[in-house]
Amino acid sequence: MNATDTHCPYCALQCGMRLHPVADAVPGAPPVEVGARPSFPVNEGALCGKGRTAAAVLARSARLTAPLIRPRRGGELVETSWERALDRVADGLRETAARHGPAANGVFGGGGLTNEKAYLLGKFARAVLRTPNIDYNGRFCMSAAATAHRAAFGLDRGLPFPLADIATTGCVILAGGNPAETMPPALRYFTRMRENGGRLIVVDPRRTRTADQADLHLRPVPGTDLALALGLLHIVIAEGLVDREFIDTRTTGFQQARAAAMAHWPERVEEITGVPVPQLRQAARAFAAAPAGMVLTARGSEQHSKGTDTVRAWINLCLATGKAGRPGSGYGCLTGQGNGQGGREHGQKADQLPGYRSLTDPRARARVAEVWGVDPRSLPGPGLSAYEMLDGAGTADGIRALLVMGSNPVVSAPRAAHITERLGALDFLAVSDVVLSETAALADVVLPCAQWAEETGTLTNLEGRVILREAALAPPEGVRTDLYILRELAARLGVRRGFSEEPAEVFEELGRASAGGPADYAGIDYDRIRAEQGVFWPCPDAAHPGTPRLFLDRFATPDGRARFAGVSHRPPAEPTDADYPLHLTTGRVTAQYQSGAQTRRVAELNTAAPGPFVELHPRLARQLEVEEGEVLAVVSRRGRAVAPARITPGIRSDTVFMPFHWAGPGRANSLTNPALDPQSKMPEFKVCAVRLEKTTEAVRP
């Protein structure tokens, strides 16, 4: 077996890597090892610890290798045959529809699924199950930024420019992101920008490794980024730093945005955010003065019940200063999950059809129905968002059966203990996964699927670059691909055509279904991706060069102009009080990824990050008489989590931080608030009210 050029299975950088066969691999050990791939332009050969150790999850000892079935309610999962497992899943979905109607079946996907899987999963839900209720965990990741991007620019792509453009810009405001820990190979572009004379402004209540690199670090109270962005726009307007020509020729709605910003004068914003007025003025002036600039947001700014408005406010700042739709400038979102971008473009989101088409657009429905060979009238309308679907699971008006593919909501959903109860109340739960995740452990049927190095498929990274993750080896005996699973389930449910298990065939159909849509992949194929190190969408035909940079001539709105938004600050959904006096914010650590279902099975990563912790300021620690490493209970109105104290001056004294990668007593999402953004249905992960209590409870991951 020769070395295979492919991509990392984790974050949205989709770093290039080379897999080398291990000739004499020990039984149960990984059959390949990871090497550098310097020719891929995004990471230039660099890999973080997760990428370097990615092959460990390919070992048989780390994963599922046979289907599991629960013979009776309350019984244990036992190994079974594929025929019996697939029959049981099909029966569960068929019986649910017969008893309660098609909408009683739900499908929950993942932002790590390839484009081919996401596309076929959406087709399965709508053309086979005929249910409107399909959504995915990307709703918890990208939805606020995506909604704002579409409203302001007419099109959502995480970065409307290549990542390398960061190195050439003059000023970056990075709001709520920590790429030094979440996507370390990307930090090189920020470093190069500063070496070229640019300035980095980081907005974060914690002094992270990224904030350590900043020229200016703004530390707002969690949940106040919207006020901060409005305050910066106020200063830009009041000091005459706006780009009037750009506003007049390429935007609409400035007067409404101006009125909202002028109600957020610097002293008021300092009172709301805790950021001193001199720092506000320094940030606004630096950004406005730069010849080119970018605002980049991530989950810290977006995962709020006002996340869409917050992103719109940051976009307003870009538009007012003329830093959008020009080379080296723009607003962008640092997408988190490996295929967070592609995953929402091709049909596993509750309101969308392939090609990022709207499910309520008659022309879009007709186009996709034609490709699928079905009557447009048979396609259901929009369904429930991710949290709404999980929240109502097992109730009389909610879904009664659920197929989960590539997600672990028991750990990743807000108010996670409640969601665990709701999943347990379902009549039927099936999970397709690589490992026995906490969600899979609740299932009636578990289907062991192939993973990144064992199947070929495309993903779309945070730049909008469609890349090809190549198979390097065959999956173990007893493991099947998700495309095989969907084909077999469709056949058992009466649809025997249109569900290929060949990725290239599925991608070709995806291209036809997306043709003419906002995310047009029609001109992309596997050979072209290999030859060009990825192709940027939109790419409508084979002669088109792809689109690395969007909006340079016009925005994707009907009149070609970007839209300002008249948004105003409002407080978090759950303010602090005497019983819950502290803000909790959550996030990631370098050595773990998302719900930890894969990375917690890698010894090297567990050594680096063995379990959860509670980060608090020394002043707060003294007040509570807490020592480093002492066990604390973090208590919210929804539950409690237990973890050792980590005392650091790098966090606000009114705020505590927990990483969210672990299940069990240290599960941070037992605490988080499911209050939803009314526009994007994003839950408020990033701020809730808590208190700390000393405890003698045992701490275990």
pLDDT of residue 98: 98
Determine the pLDDT at residue 29: 82
pLDDT, average across residues 519-545: 98
Alpha-carbon span 511 to 468, nearest angstrom? 15
Give the integer Cα–Cα distance in Å for 352 and 521.
16
- Each residue of 148-205: pLDDT tens digit? 999 999 999 999 999 999 999 999 999 999 999 999 999 999 999 999 999 999 999 9
Q: What is the pLDDT of residue 701?
A: 57
* Distance in Å from the first CA to the final CA of the chain: 38
Q: Which pLDDT score, from 0 to 100, does residue 51 have?
A: 97
The band of 460, judged by pLDDT with boundaries at 50, 70 and 90, is very high
Question: Region 443-462: what's the mean pLDDT?
Answer: 97
Quote the tokens at residue 31. Answer: 């059959």
Q: Where in the chain is the domain with CATH 2.40.40.20?
A: 582-694
**Cis peptide bond N-terminal to 222, omega within 30:** no
pLDDT confidence band for 72 (50 / 70 / 90): confident
pLDDT tens-digit profile of 503-516?
999 999 999 999 99
255 Cβ contact list (under 8 Å, min separation 6): none
Mean predicted lDDT score pLDDT of the chain: 96
How wide is the angle at C-alpha 245 spanned by C-alphas 240 and 247, nearest 5°?
80
DSSP letters, 48-115, are -HHHHTGGGGGSGGGS--S-EE-SSTT---EE--HHHHHHHHHHHHHHHHHHH-GGGEEEEE-TTS-H
Is the predicted pLDDT of residue 1 greater than 70, yes or no?
A: no
Residue 647 has pLDDT above 80, yes or no: yes
Token pair belonging to 643: 């973890």
Q: Specify the pLDDT at position 370.
A: 97
**Which pTM was predicted?**
0.96
Contact by Cβ (8 Å): 626, 632: yes
Domain 68-140+339-455+479-502 class in CATH: alpha beta
List every span in the chain annotated with CATH 2.20.25.
4-62
State yes or no: pLDDT of 332 exceeds 70.
Answer: yes
How far apart, in whole angstroms, are the C-alpha atoms of residue 272 and residue 223? 10
Please check the confidence at residue 261 and state whether its pLDDT lies above 70: yes
Confidence of residue 74 (pLDDT cuts 50, 70, 90): confident
Query: What pLDDT score was predicted for residue 381?
Result: 97
652-688 pLDDT tens trace: 999 999 999 999 999 999 999 999 999 999 999 999 9
Q: Using pLDDT thresholds of 50, 70 and 90, give the confidence band for residue 360.
A: very high
pLDDT at 697: 83
CB 462 within 8 A of CB 475: no
Helix 307-320 and helix 143-153, axial crossing angle in degrees, nearest 10: 40
Pick the CATH number of 582-694 from 2.60.120.10, 3.40.50.300, 2.40.40.20, 3.30.70.1350: 2.40.40.20
Query: Residue 195: which residues within 8 A CB-CB, separation 6 or more?
Result: none
Burial (0-12, 13-18, 19+ Cβ within 10 Å), 504: middle
- Element of type H or E holding 180: helix 179-182
* pLDDT classification of 61: cutoffs 50, 70, 90: confident
Q: What is the per-residue pLDDT for 589?
A: 96
Q: How confident is the model at residue 60 (pLDDT cuts 50, 70, 90)?
A: confident
Reply yes or no on whether the pLDDT at 700 is more than 70. Answer: no
The boundaries of every CATH 3.40.228.10 domain in the chain are 144-333
Tokens of 428: 């039927």
Return the higher-pLDDT residue of 142 and 458: 458
Match domain 4-62 to its CATH number in 3.40.50, 2.20.25, 2.60.40, 3.30.300. Answer: 2.20.25
Better-predicted residue by pLDDT, 335 or 360: 360
Q: What is the side-by-side order of every strand in the sheet holding 4-7?
A: 4-7, 16-21, 32-35
Predicted local distance difference test score (pLDDT) of residue 151: 98
CATH code for the part of the protein at 144-333? 3.40.228.10
Are 305 and 676 within 8 A, CB to CB?
Answer: yes
Largest CA distance in the chain: 71
